Structures are given as C-alpha cells and as structure tokens.
Amino acid sequence: MLELLSEEYGGRVELAKAYYEALTSSVKKHFKGNGVIASMEHCNDFFLLGTEAISLGRVGDDFWCSDPSGDPNGTYWLQGCHMVHCAYNSLWMGNFIHPDWDMFQSTHPCAEFHAASRAISGGPIYVSDCVGNHNFKLLKTLVLPDGSILRCQHYALPTRDCLFEDPLHDGKTMLKIWNLNKVSHSKTPSLFILFYN
C-alpha cells in the first residue's frame, strides 16, 4: 500500500522509513516495547525496517473456520494449507521475526490437528473460540496446571527430507516439522507429521 502512495512523499523507501519509525515509537510507548503480533507483514519493507520493536509475526494465512466456497472437504484442505505455509514460511521469516502460527478454534473439526501444530510451533498458543464454546479438554492438553505452556526452544521447521517437496500436491510427501523441547531433558526432537492426499 505504501508503494502506491509514496511517489509524492520522497519515494517508497523514505515513506516506509517514516511509517515504521512512527509504528516503532507507538509500540514502544503503548505496548511496553514489543508486545505486538505483526499479522500483515509479508513484505520486504517490514523485514528491513519494521522489526526494531516487533519481534513476533504471522507466517501463514489467517485461520479459516470453513471453506469460503462452502465445500465441506475444503475445510480440511485449508487446514493442511495453513500448516504447510506456516512451516515453510518459518524457514525464511524466522530469520527476521519469531514465527506466529495464528489462532485456532478449539471446537473446530481439525482442532486437535491445530493444537498439536501450535504445541510444536514454538510460538504463542491462542484461540478464537466463541464465548462459551470451548473444548477445555483439548485446551488443557496444551498447558501446565498453572496455565503456562511448554514452549519449544526454537521455532518449528520442516525436516530436511521434505524441504524441496510439495506435500500439498504431490500425493506422496508427508510434511514433517520438528522442534526441540527443553523440558524433555533430551536431544530428541518433537515431531509433527501432516499427510494430505
């Protein structure tokens, strides 16, 4: 958007610098430094200029509750797309920000799938449930009795064997993502596997 408006204001770079300096100043003043999740930051301007005060950023599309075209099977396909995009985008974007895999709904048909991926993602775990419509049994599997989470040491990444494969379309590749959990007292990685056919 800034590119469209920048011609009369010194060009894209100058306008982007001013924009992100103002954003950084506001974040520092109102959110105690970096308490903001960047959810629309998939652009070079953000990565080069906007990460001074924002360290957490969305690495995939928004969580879709259902297929916008009404296809009931499309709901499942979209959840697979979400995981694949988050895993592969983390490989690049994790060099600039800490990846956030977005919220999910604990009563969604794929809620367990989302919960498992968030547990290994290394990012925050948060839900967008409707008021009074929660799956507390599932949510309790993600937290300790005091409500804290066992956050993994790093952000989740695809395993080497599926880096240059297409798990959404080739019909043979399983997406495997891994991370390390410091609480397990071992070097054994956590692993989450997605297969869509």
Q: Where are the domains of the chain?
A: 1-54, 60-194
| Residues contacting 172, CB < 8 A, separation 6+ | none
Q: What is the pLDDT of residue 12?
A: 82
Rg (CA), the chain: 18
Scored b (16 or more CB within 10 A) or e, 64-75 reads beeeeeeeeeeb
Q: What is the pLDDT of residue 2?
A: 67
Q: What is the pLDDT of residue 187?
A: 53
Q: What is the pLDDT of residue 195?
A: 53
Alpha-carbon distance of 136 to 88, in angstroms, equals: 30
Alpha-carbon distance of 25 to 35, in angstroms, equals: 13
Q: What is the pLDDT of residue 27?
A: 86
pLDDT along the chain (197 residues), means of 10: 74 85 88 78 79 84 78 78 93 92 94 92 93 96 89 92 91 89 62 56
Q: What is the pLDDT of residue 197?
A: 46
Q: Would the CA dihedral through 190, 178, 57, 117 be positive or negative?
A: negative
Q: What is the pLDDT of residue 131?
A: 94
Q: What is the pLDDT of residue 190?
A: 63
Alpha-carbon distance of 179 to 76, in angstroms, equals: 24
Q: What is the pLDDT of residue 141?
A: 93
